[in-house]
Structure formats: structure tokens, C-alpha cells
Amino acid sequence: MVPVGVLPDGQMEVPRDTDAVGWYRPGANPGDRGNAVMAGHVDSKTGPAVFYKLNKLKKGDIILIRLNGGFTRAFSVKKAVIYRRDRAPMEQIFGPTGDVNLNLITCTGTFDKTKGTHQERLVIYAGLKAAHEIKNRVPPL
């Protein structure tokens, strides 16, 4: 996991390494109040990337995030939504909230060669779970 920021065009930066997950540093820390946002590539020119199986997550699945210092935070998937690249609800994904959320983003849909990106975005919305609430674990993505 690597910290990322904002590109000159206002979009969230993503890691160059297709096996790395980018954590949106201007947003919340995972496990803190707010929307912690992470993005990763779905694929690369050579094959699957870090979020290749992100579309397999479903409501109730558990996502474990290991933080510096060895702390682990567990999040439960609330929903998965696909948006057109230019119509994602930025305020809902990145905006302030009183809840403790984790939002994971990757590309999906058809790759547009002229724009150099996929036409859609998959967003996984998840909320913090207490340790005693975890009944099942999801294999690593």
C-alpha cells in the first residue's frame, strides 16, 4: 500500500506498480472516521493486477487491512457499484462522513484505447466491523 494524491486534472492518482494499492492520502486513514479510499489496477499489459478479483466481493464479505504497527482493521462489504468513468459520485466516494468506511476502486468494463482507460469504475463500499462481529473471512484478493 502506497500513499497517493491528486493528479493535475483533479483525479485520484494511482500507483504505477500494478501490484500496489494506492491509499488516498488527503482522505481518511483506514479505521478513522471518514471515507478511506484505496485504488488499484485491475489489469496490465501483461495480465491481472492487484484488484483483478475485486469484482468477486459481495455484501457481507470481510476485508482485512493491516496497518503500520501491526494493527488490523476489518471492514464488511456493504455494496458493490459500477459507475461510468465520468459519472462516479465523487462526494459519496471521497466526501466527509461520520462513519468509518473503506471504499475500494478499480477499473472495469471495456478498455477505451483512445482514452487509455476503462469505461467504467467498480467501487466497493465497506464499513468498519468490530472483531466480535467477524464470522467469515475472505481469501486475499
108 is catalytic: no
41 is catalytic: yes
User: Which of 12, 37, 57, 107 is flagged as catalytic?
Assistant: 107
Report the half-sphere exposure of 126 (CA within 13 A, side-chain side).
Answer: 29
List for the chain the helix, strand, coil content (%; round to 5). 10, 45, 45
Q: Phi and psi (nearest 5°) for 91?
A: -65, -40
C-alpha gyration radius of the chain? 15
What stretches of 71-138 show up as alpha helix (H) in DSSP?
Answer: 90-94
What type of residue is 38? M
User: Which of 15, 41, 63, 122 is flagged as catalytic?
Assistant: 41
Which residues are annotated as catalytic?
41, 107
